[in-house]
Amino acid sequence: MFGAFPPGLILILGGLLLPLVPRAFRSWAFLAPPVLVLLHLSGLEHGTQATWSFATYELIPLHVDPLAMVFGWIFALVALIAGVYALHLRDTGQQVSALLYAGSGLGAVFAGDLFTLFLFWEIMAFAAAYLVWARRTRESYGSAMRYLFVHLFGGSLLLGGVLWHLSETGSIAFTQFEATGAAWLILAGFAVNAAVVPLHAWIADAYPRGTITGSVFLSAFTTKTAVYTLARGFSGWDVLIWAGVLMAIYGVLYAILVNDIRRVLAYHIVSQVGFMVAGIGVGTALALNGATSHAYTHILYKGLLFMATGAVIYATGRSRMTELGGLFRSMPAVFWFYMVAALSISSAPFFSGFISKPMTIVAAEYADLTSVVLLLHLASVGTFLSVGLKVPYFTWFGDEPARPVKVKPLPWNIYAAMGVGAGLNILLGVWPDPLYAILPAGPVEFAPYDLPYLKKGFQLLLFTALAFFFIVARLRPKPKVQLDTDFIYRTSGGLAWNWTVLPVVRFFAWWERFSWEAAGAVARVGQDPAGWLRRRFGRLLPTPPAAGQAYPGTESAALRGSMTLMMVVLLVTLLTFMVRALF
């Protein structure tokens, strides 16, 4: 439709033009760019490439291959669904930022060179930070600033690695990396956006404090763009296997502990992305297909989870499980939409997660990584325990809080978006062939509905549900704050200020005082040089003559004239030497 035009720029241009649309039609106009992107993707062929000249480099803002297309399809689709969810919104700033955010993620996916990737990487950070800040609370402002600084730090690592790689190879092409120092630095930059532990705390800090609609967008793009870059550049790196396993376990443990319903979901982004990172580390065709398909389904069910919990916050104004309870009578439809997503993330048969997550675990099993398989199964149990059982039980059932919950009606578009999301999660769960046909590593050698996989899936769910009802009292949420690695940069601000910023501030304050005092002294000397000399060196100078008298030896006019001529010659000589020295 647009020829060899980068799809991400369609969303970005749409975002920049959106404020020109009349306010009454702006929310509907938001849907046009994602629709255009979907139409454009349907006409792109593998191998299509666009090159733009910049200085002495050839930039590749469009490079189409199977890996890019998988992420391109799901990014455009979720931008459209999230746009429907936000139809009631009348905040132009959020609408523009959401399109810039989605467009930069899409631009990074189709970038064929590292400079283009970095450009979209930084746009994504600023646009996402605005979606957190736009909630306009003191907490969201602090979270947005921390989010921005963390991602600028990650972007600095990425840029440093790119420049190092350019100096070593002379190339900016984005391909599979060798294990060099530059590649490790680039990997560190990607790891920040992928929320690899211990670089993950920004996600649990920012996403729960984002706007209701903004968090739906946030759940889709940043971490999955990082998954794409890891699959593109670092497939088969063993370090990613154990980094992914750590993420899977760590995220689940914190999700079980926390009280805020969206913070539970944020920690589960860490955990589920851990499955993808581990699959990329395994690096086989089955593992890459598993990681890519899991990223696809994760965007769908995680978006639905954030839509359902956002609906709860919209209707009640509350997000902590200790302040919720008994909502099923007033919000039954939201509960059922939530449960579709919860069963999907828990890999329940006939839901989307069942056709993707087990593929990664089976790939690890084929690679004889027994401990990895066991730990990923353990993480799956924790996922159902927290998202599938704890959150719905204490939010929609359980004891009602002491302060009654008032529920206001939801806009129709919120129900419509959740309905589309739930339908897609069920459709993919029972009919995975369309997704399997576009996966990047070739034909999928995995049949999720073979009897052994079905049996294992139902066993994990049933035994986890049984365990939950034995320990439900111990899982009751508590109004506490769980410390995480963000504690380091939250509490070290004073120390960093005292040791880095304050010495610089004090130096410049001293320099400013010194400059003013020196300027004042020069001004005073210039007003009366002879007087200043007399005051400073009066004992060494001859006593000045009284008024009307001449200095001894100056009575002769010839002597005065010769002295004047000598001073002129001396000055001309000095000036001549200075000019020669300078030029």
The DSSP result for 322-335, as a single string, is: GG----TTT-HHHH
User: Which of 458, 483, 508 delimits the end of a domain?
Assistant: 483
Say how many domains are in the chain.
2
Residues 44 and 148 in one domain: yes
The per-residue pLDDT string of the chain (583 residues; one tens digit each, 9 = 90 and over) reads 677 889 999 999 999 999 999 988 999 999 999 999 999 999 898 888 888 888 788 899 999 999 999 999 999 999 999 999 999 999 999 999 999 999 999 999 999 999 999 999 999 999 999 999 999 898 899 899 999 999 999 999 999 999 999 999 989 999 999 999 999 999 999 999 999 999 999 999 999 999 999 999 999 999 999 999 999 999 999 999 999 999 999 999 999 999 999 999 999 999 999 999 999 999 999 999 999 999 999 999 999 999 999 999 999 999 999 999 889 999 999 999 999 999 999 999 999 999 999 999 999 999 999 999 999 999 999 999 999 999 999 999 977 787 788 899 999 999 999 999 999 999 999 999 999 999 998 888 889 999 999 999 999 999 999 999 889 888 888 877 777 777 776 666 566 666 666 787 788 788 778 777 777 777 776 666 767 666 666 655 555 555 555 444 444 454 445 555 555 556 556 666 665 555 5
Residues 4 and 21 in one domain: yes
Residues 99 and 181 in one domain: yes
User: Which of 183, 206, 233 delimits the end of a domain?
Assistant: 233
Residue 465 lies in a domain: yes
| Residue 371 token pair | 């401990």
The DSSP result for 108-162, as a single string, is: HHT--BHHHHHHHHHHHHHHHHHHHHTT-SHHHHHHHHHHHHHHHHHHHHHHHHH
User: Which of 200, 233, 266 delimits the end of a domain?
Assistant: 233
Residue 181 lies in a domain: yes
Residues 174 and 65 in one domain: yes
Residues 217 and 252 in one domain: no
Q: Which amino acid belongs to residue 367?
A: A
Q: How far apart are CA 413 and CA 55, in angstroms?
A: 47
| Residue 551 token pair | 């200095």
Residues 226 and 320 in one domain: no
Most distant CA atoms of the chain, gap in Å: 126
Residue 285 lies in a domain: yes
Residue 184 lies in a domain: yes
For residues 421 and 78, is the Cβ–Cβ distance under 8 A? no
Residues 223 and 244 in one domain: no
Residue 251 lies in a domain: yes
Phi, psi (5° rounding) for residue 112? Answer: -100, 0
Residue 543 lies in a domain: no
Find residue 59's DSSP bridge partners.
Answer: 52
Residues 32 and 73 in one domain: yes
Residue 496 lies in a domain: no
Residue 489 lies in a domain: no
Residues 151 and 166 in one domain: yes
Residues 6+ positions from 257 with CB-CB distance below 8 Å: 482
Residues 83 and 206 in one domain: yes
Alpha-carbon distances, residue 164 vs 108, 156, 186, 230, 552 (angstroms): 20, 12, 9, 18, 76
**The dihedral of CA 384, 386, 392, 398: what is its sign?**
positive
CB atoms under 10 Å from CB of 517, counted, come to 10
What is the span of the domain harbouring residue 112?
1-233
Phi, psi (5° rounding) for residue 52? Answer: -125, 140
Residues 229 and 290 in one domain: no
Residues 226 and 239 in one domain: no
